Structure 1
């Protein structure tokens, strides 16, 4: 469904110089698949997602979605692509218009596609039920919800047009651990029921192990390891992937101490 080949992205800096942040990346997402893209802050993982969405310019390489090259698609074509290609961002509050009700937010993409009022209301009710929010949520403003509930609203917004692929950009990193688990389970349930594919961007190997079929590990704008999620997260081959795994927090104090010592031992002199 999604094929990225030789993707290179260059960002301008305040002093007028240019910095290459993604270096010739190859990445695929198949229909109905969850691919985890994992790396530390500044690794380029979010930039790849933004390039797929057309939110950052591509220096070179190709992005093909459903057989169509889209890396240089114009605004009109991007609007048309939004039916099949959607996004869930990290901060649910800034993703929602604070002055619009949830019903208005969910109804906007539907009315933009010519959906009638009665059909739109039924679809909004269906979406709220799918993300486990009460029907009266449609009449409330974003500030009346918790962070976890707001993220469910943004998930419903992304699902409104029944997309084929959703870019999930750190969708749970701003949430507490209990809420993270609830949202991740919801995303998996939706994926299993609808067959939507996810490109799941995160810094957390434990999250991608839970969510993904395959994993791509990125460091400094380059992919350093790819493969089956269970293999990569249990038997990583690249030192950077092993360092990410050791950095993940665990509940066991002794194991956490062992991981810290192992991380220090692997650090360069």
Structure 2
């Protein structure tokens, strides 16, 4: 199957702090692909470059070299106008649903904005908003409420509805459940899987949590210090990883049993501590 999104030999760097400081390399030759209708989980610790990759795909981080191709079109170097047009095709769900929503606007107004911007009439936009709210299982009348009137999990549902408003083919999910409690995480992840099954949307799912990535992903790519160190089917990479860094992530993942967690932590420190640094 032809890839929907392809990233080839991508390099991203940022200016160093202070005058004359060398530039900081964040991504070093990253290559990956996402097929239509699949979820690619991108997992790594804080500072690994995973969110920078997502931002580069969205046009929010500068690309020094390499190529990003979506549906056969090069994204790196696109002008602002074409980027706005591609908003129908590529959307994003951010980590913190509250700061990504306008606190002074009702949820209905927030969801209607991109629809009106694409030329829908007010009546058609309102009908689409009602459809979106129902799709993410929010109660009737939710469109008349402000973000502060929702729980964290409900606000993330609103953020998901906004990402789906224009019928995208790809959604970049940037740590979409890391700010939620475990029960709410499961509910939101189940919703994302349900939406994917119904619509065929593809996800690039960015996370630091290997267990979350295992739950939602078809394939997994592991990023460490700006480089992809391991990739493959989710069942293989998350159960029998070959790279020491991936094994360190697996041992560091929390488990419910306190005694087992203590043993895993000890094994992590003893065997793979240096690999994770």
Q: Judge same fold: TM > 0.5, yes or no.
A: yes
1:120 aligns with 2:125: yes
1-side partners of 2:129 and 2:26: how far apart?
39
In structure 2, runs of 5+ residues without a counterpart are: none
In structure 1, runs of 5+ residues without a counterpart are: none
SS in 2 for 1:80: helix
SS in 2 for 1:198: strand
1:14 Cα deviation (Å)?
A: 2.4
In terms of mean alpha carbon deviation, does 248-257 or 41-50 score higher? 248-257
Counterpart position of 2:9: 6
2-side partners of 1:151 and 1:22: how far apart?
28
Counterpart position of 1:80: 85
2:114 to 105, 109, 118: 109
1:24 Cα deviation (Å)?
A: 0.5
1:237 aligns with 2:242: yes
Equivalence map 1:145-224=2 (5 Å)? 145-224=150-229
1:268 to 263, 274, 277: 274
1:141 aligns with 2:130: no
2-side partners of 1:85 and 1:162: how far apart?
9
Equivalence map 1:18-97=2 (5 Å)? 18-97=23-102
2-side partners of 1:260 and 1:90: how far apart?
27
RMSD of aligned alpha carbons? 1.0
Deviations 1:102-154 (A, max 9, x none): 00000001000101122111110110001110130111111111111111000
Structure 1 runs of 4+ with >3 Å offset: none
1:268 Cα deviation (Å)?
A: 3.2
SS in 1 for 2:238: helix
TM-score, scaled to structure 1: 0.98
